[in-house]
Amino acid sequence: MKKIIYLIFITVFSLNAQESRENIYSNISLNENNETKATIRQYVNSAYNISAYKANYFLPISYRFDNNYPKIIDHNYDNPPMQTEIEFQVSIKYDITSNLFNLDEIYTVAYTQKSFWQFYATSAYFRETNYNPEFFITFPVKFGKDKYGLRAIKAGFAHESNGQGLVYERSWNYFYSDLYFQLGYVFVNLELWYSPKNSLHHNTDLLDYLGYGHIIFVIPYEKHLLKTKIRQSFKDYGAFELSYSHPVPLRDDLFFYIKAFNGYGESLIDYNQRVRKFGIGFSISR
């Protein structure tokens, strides 16, 4: 009997979350072009409760233009990192429930893992992996959306670390809020965060390099999706990231993926090193 009640509970909450996702999707002004409309739906919505969160990609070629890796990992002295490596990211989310306050809000847990694999080095070690669990609530905006372009608001709490300890540890906890706008057929995401000082034991100057937020512009056109992320700190450290994806021929669930990065904070282990990278590969979500 308990199993039956549990299944009913999960099914009802999953249906509620899916209905709320449809409400968010219906909040978007769509292009008349069917291919652009499909691209927008892939970006905004998901057909399943466990779904992609951020981009899930695999870059077999990720080239770092500057050989300026931090000298803190012991085995790198015998096997220093190469400028070409494999980079990949896995990012999923699960909508727990929704609409508890009759606002069509969605309660979500998410997990993102980004890894830098020295596949072409002698021992093919993982140079760095960042782990990023989150909990957040997303609210579709129903008032003044046509006047101001604001489509949704998200608020959450997250932890990010590289899973190491002692002098190798890089980690922080932060609260954040996101504003999602649609300006014509351009999507804009403004994210701001706050990190308590007691969560920055091993990287006290992290926010000097990451700043307190970023802005993302997403441009869908037919089957193309272009995304730019811009970040600037008060200490004059910034970052610019550009990604582009397009479906491979005869597939709508696999994409060519290109990613370029220039600035600080690409990964936690070398957040205070300026990194210039270019990668090419594939993604399974956008």
- Among 46, 62, 98, 161, the one annotated catalytic: 161
Q: Return the structure tokens found at 36.
A: 């652009």
CA pseudo-torsion sign 286, 259, 109, 178: negative
The CA–CA distances, whole Å, from 97 to 67, 112, 115, 128 equal 46, 20, 30, 34
Distance CA 171, CA 268 (A): 7
Distance CA 114, CA 74 (A): 21
Distance CA 133, CA 109 (A): 8
- Annotated active-site residue 159? The verdict is yes
**Which one-letter DSSP state was computed for residue 28?**
S
- Annotated active-site residue 201? The verdict is no
- Among 51, 115, 159, 246, the one annotated catalytic: 159
The CA–CA distances, whole Å, from 21 to 47, 141, 144, 147, 261 equal 9, 13, 20, 22, 31
Distance CA 129, CA 113 (A): 7
Q: Return the structure tokens found at 116.
A: 């830098």
Other C-beta atoms closer than 10 Å to the C-beta of 254 total 15
Distance CA 259, CA 280 (A): 6
Q: Which of 248, 255, 244 is nearest to 285 (CA)?
A: 255
Residue ranges of alpha helices (H) inside the chain are 2-26, 34-44, 145-148, 206-210
Q: What is the CA radius of gyration of the chain?
A: 20
Which residues are annotated as catalytic? Answer: 159, 161
